[in-house]
């Protein structure tokens, strides 16, 4: 049997001592900094230097997923992921773990890495860019321009046939067809113009919908004569202040509201068409008469600030 010389044994023992010291320092560093994210206590395990079962609870959606992770993931993979998450922002941008063993871990890593702002949860990674832009720039911003209010009213009525994404993709076509939604110009459209718009396959609007928009433009011109502007008429129902809701979950956001019921009844009396409470509420949300961004959405505070400007309505 091979026997190491005294000098060789001394060197090996010294090397072993250095490795144990480094391992202890790494253990203390890991336990110290991991608490920045996970309020847990790392415990010794007979099978490894650390017990990461409690971490897997944070990296998974439930305890069942966690158990599966414990049985299939290696300690090295978990430490690699956790150290990446607690690294500095600059380092985090370039950190890519060699393997991300579980789907839940991968989803957590992607969410942590993302610099995207927090949005209403109906905006997802699959949402079309035009819809995301509408949410980020227009939806919920208080509107006081007659033409834009008319445009939002017309598009809200189209929700009976299409969703917002489909409507927004054709927005420029609608603007061109309906003269930038100038109520005076649309109100003067005759049968020829109505037929041309309805027959345009790119616009994809039934003739009844086109006639509805033209009829509503005529109603707006009458409202302007009485109230001075369509904006004054609409905002008068709100006492010139939008309703600021603080919904936390999308399930709390209503499809209609008491205020929408009141506005709908008055508009119907004045001859407006396709202005039921649900359509009116959608119009109110888009035009910022009611702010229905979820409270944790980055646009909620922005829209509230715009709504609270002292010169907001002219």
Annotated binding site: 120, 135, 293, 297
Binding site members for Zn(2+): 120, 135, 293, 297
Q: What is the DSSP string of 163-195?
A: -HHHHHHTHHHHHHHTGGG-HHHHHT--HHHHH
Within 8 A by CB and 6+ apart from 79, the residues are: 30, 50, 52
CA 276 to chain centroid? 27
Number of neighbours of residue 194 by Cβ within 10 angstroms: 15
Cα(108)–Cα(55) distance, integer angstroms:
12
Beta strand extents in the chain (DSSP E only):
243-244, 290-291
Cα(283)–Cα(152) distance, integer angstroms:
6
Instruction: Tell me if 207 sits within 8 A of 198, measured CB to CB.
Output: yes
SS (H, E, C) 219-234: HHHHHHHHHCCHHHHH
């Amino acid at each position: 049997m091979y026997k190491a010389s005294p000098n060789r044994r001394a060197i090996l023992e010294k090397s072993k001592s250095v490795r144990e010291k480094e391992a202890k320092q790494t253990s203390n560093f890991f336990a110290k900094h991991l608490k920045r994210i996970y309020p847990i206590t790392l415990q010794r395990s007979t099978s490894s230097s650390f017990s990461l079962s409690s971490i897997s609870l944070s990296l998974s959606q439930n305890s069942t997923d966690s158990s599966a992770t414990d049985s299939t993931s290696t300690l090295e993979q978990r430490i690699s992921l956790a150290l990446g998450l607690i690294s500095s922002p600059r380092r985090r941008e370039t950190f890519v773990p060699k393997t991300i063993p579980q789907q839940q871990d991968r989803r957590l890593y992607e969410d942590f890495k993302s610099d995207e702002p927090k949005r209403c949860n109906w905006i997802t990674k699959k949402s079309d860019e035009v819809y995301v832009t509408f949410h980020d720039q227009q939806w919920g911003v208080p509107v006081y321009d007659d033409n834009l209010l008319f445009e939002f009213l017309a598009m809200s009525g189209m929700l009976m046939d299409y969703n917002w994404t489909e409507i927004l993709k054709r927005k420029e076509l609608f603007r061109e067809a309906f003269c930038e939604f100038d109520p005076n110009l649309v109100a003067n459209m005759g049968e020829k113009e109505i037929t041309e718009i309805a027959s345009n396959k790119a616009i994809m609007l039934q003739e009844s919908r086109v006639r509805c928009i033209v009829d509503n433009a005529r109603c707006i011109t009458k409202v302007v004569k009485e109230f001075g502007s369509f904006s004054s008429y609409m905002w008068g129902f709100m006492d010139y202040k939008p309703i600021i809701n603080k919904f936390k979950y999308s399930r709390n956001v209503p499809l209609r509201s008491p205020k929408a019921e009141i506005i709908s009844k008055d508009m119907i009396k004045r001859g407006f068409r396709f202005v039921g409470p649900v359509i009116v509420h959608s119009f109110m949300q888009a035009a910022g008469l009611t702010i229905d961004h979820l409270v944790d959405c980055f646009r909620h505070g922005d829209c509230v600030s715009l709504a609270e400007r002292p010169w907001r309505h002219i």
